[in-house]
Amino acid sequence: MAGKRTITIIGGGVIGLTSACALVRDGHDVTLIERRGDVGREASFANGGQLSYRYVSPLADAGIAQDALGWLFRPNSPISLRLKADPHQWRWLLAFLCACNRQTNRRNAAVLLDLALSGQAELEKYREEGLGDFLWRRPGKLVLYRNAATFRKAAKSVSDPERQRALSPSECTDVEPAFEGLREQIAGGIFSPEDEVGDCFLFCKALRETLAASPNFRLIQGDATLTTGPKDRCEVQLDGKPFETDLVVLAAGIGSRKLARPLALNLPLYGLKGYSLTTRPRPGLVPSVSVTDYDNRVVYAGLGDRLRVAAMVDIGSENTHLNPKRLGELRALVSETLPGALGKGDDTPWAGLRPATPTGVPIIARTRYDNLLLNVGHGALGFTLSVGSGLRLKEIVAGFDTRAVS
Ligand SMILES: Cc1cc2nc3c(=O)[nH]c(=O)nc-3n(C[C@H](O)[C@H](O)[C@H](O)COP(=O)(O)OP(=O)(O)OC[C@H]3O[C@@H](n4cnc5c(N)ncnc54)[C@H](O)[C@@H]3O)c2cc1C
């Protein structure tokens, strides 16, 4: 560590909390400001629960634009697009399309893999040191492909056969018998035995408990805002009143965009709306491994005795309203894939906004303000990338020039 600092983090989702853990462990004094009554109540609340370390390829890839066109006209489509007269949406979509090529995808996937794996190793340490229970398991992740050409392409891209295996349909259902009924419809699967699952909200609460035990940490409930200050610095206000701090970390998920606006920072974040359903099916229907139904883009994770199913990318619906039509479509996809998993009306629906950059790579960086750092834009992989992102942030703070922030 270069020198102890007083650091304020804005946002008590999984990214703000893992940032706080990394910085407190490095000896800094950390204050976390969260506007809600509890941590982890927005995008981190009921997400898919997958710690999908080996499967971090960004959505922006060669061929995705054509695939998406097909999805848009399909019943129960995993993607919906509502174009708006909103220059930010158009800019984001254009940047997304520019990233849809093999070279950019490979480069960005390598960055994400590095972040994910460093986080996996660090999380192991947190657990060994007694992090509270968050229904964590390491059952592995199985990605099922219904389309033979897509499966062949995925099988070819397996780069580390020690840690990922291409499986035949019967091997897939041996690995996960809950999907036996799908055997005739699948072309194959890719299994990553070291991937994990957990409940992200419980993880946030466990991190909060660990942090609360440190004299160098405090959690404040309140609404933060940012304004420009003198000498290339920004200033924090808590509920409208000035709040003194040495460094500021913006980690407020999709809310970061609005917070950065008064600083004339136009963050390339868009809220990609998704849904989840949580239910308690009868035993045997909760998959043991975490499963992705690739063609429907639905993820399944067993969290204790509950099944969490998550899906849908709704572009142009930047709100968390539970749209009955989309929920009905998700229920139809799940009932078709895992019959009997959803009882009659006893699932708990949820919607959240993935704070997404066009490339899928989060922004963990300094800004033109000497005292402001960003840890934002983790999109569909925020739980997976959270611990690694905290580590990355800590390294950036450690590299700060002390004169720049004194
Ligand atoms: C349907 C769905 C499924 C998903 N599945 C997975 C998955 O299986 N695996 C995975 O790795 N990722 C998954 N994700 C992605 C993951 O959930 C997100 O990337 C992650 O939760 C983002 O965390 P965050 O901390 O950046 O944002 P958030 O969790 O939204 O936290 C931001 C916090 O900032 C606070 N805040 C905002 N503005 C202010 C302010 N002015 N003052 C104070 N506080 C403020 C908010 O109240 C909030 O608590 C999924 C997401 C969705 C929507």
Mean pLDDT of all residues in 143-150: 95
| In contact, 204 and 39? CB cutoff 8 Å | yes
CB of 381 closer than 6 A to ligand 1? yes
Residue ranges of the domains in the chain?
A: 6-140+194-405
Looking from the CA of 129 toward its CB, the CA atoms found within 13 Å total 14
In the CATH scheme, what architecture does the domain 6-140+194-405 have? 3-Layer(bba) Sandwich (3.50)
CB of 17 closer than 6 A to ligand 1? no
Helix (H, G, I), strand (E, B) or coil at 162: coil
**pLDDT tens across 82-119, in order?**
999 999 999 999 999 999 999 999 999 999 999 999 99
Question: Is residue 405 scored above 60 in pLDDT?
Answer: no
Helix (H, G, I), strand (E, B) or coil at 164: coil
Question: Is residue 280 scored above 60 in pLDDT?
Answer: yes
User: First and final CA of the chain: distance in angstroms?
Assistant: 16
Question: Is residue 173 scored above 50 in pLDDT?
Answer: yes
Position 406 scores a pLDDT of 30
Best CA proximity match to 367, nearest among 267, 271, 270: 267
Question: Is residue 400 scored above 90 in pLDDT?
Answer: no
**pLDDT tens across 27-47, in order?**
999 999 999 999 999 999 999
**pLDDT tens across 367-386, in order?**
999 999 999 999 999 999 99
Residue 385 alpha carbon, nearest atom of ligand 1: 11
Question: Is residue 345 scored above 80 in pLDDT?
Answer: no
Kindly report the protein residue whose alpha carbon is nearest to atom 14 of ligand 1.
Answer: 380
Higher pLDDT, 126 or 77: 126
Q: Which residues pair with 34 in a beta bridge?
A: 221
Residue 224 alpha carbon, nearest atom of ligand 1: 42
Residue 382 alpha carbon, nearest atom of ligand 1: 19
Position 401 scores a pLDDT of 58
Question: Is residue 344 scored above 90 in pLDDT?
Answer: no
Position 222 scores a pLDDT of 98
Question: Is residue 136 scored above 90 in pLDDT?
Answer: yes
Q: Give the mutation target among 32, 36, 50, 200 for probing the ligand 1 site: most ligand atoms within 8 A of CB.
A: 200
Mean pLDDT of all residues in 60-79: 84
Alpha-carbon gap, residue 59 to 52, rounded angstroms:
14
Question: Is residue 357 scored above 90 in pLDDT?
Answer: yes
Confidence bin at 1 (pLDDT 50/70/90) = low
| In contact, 204 and 40? CB cutoff 8 Å | yes
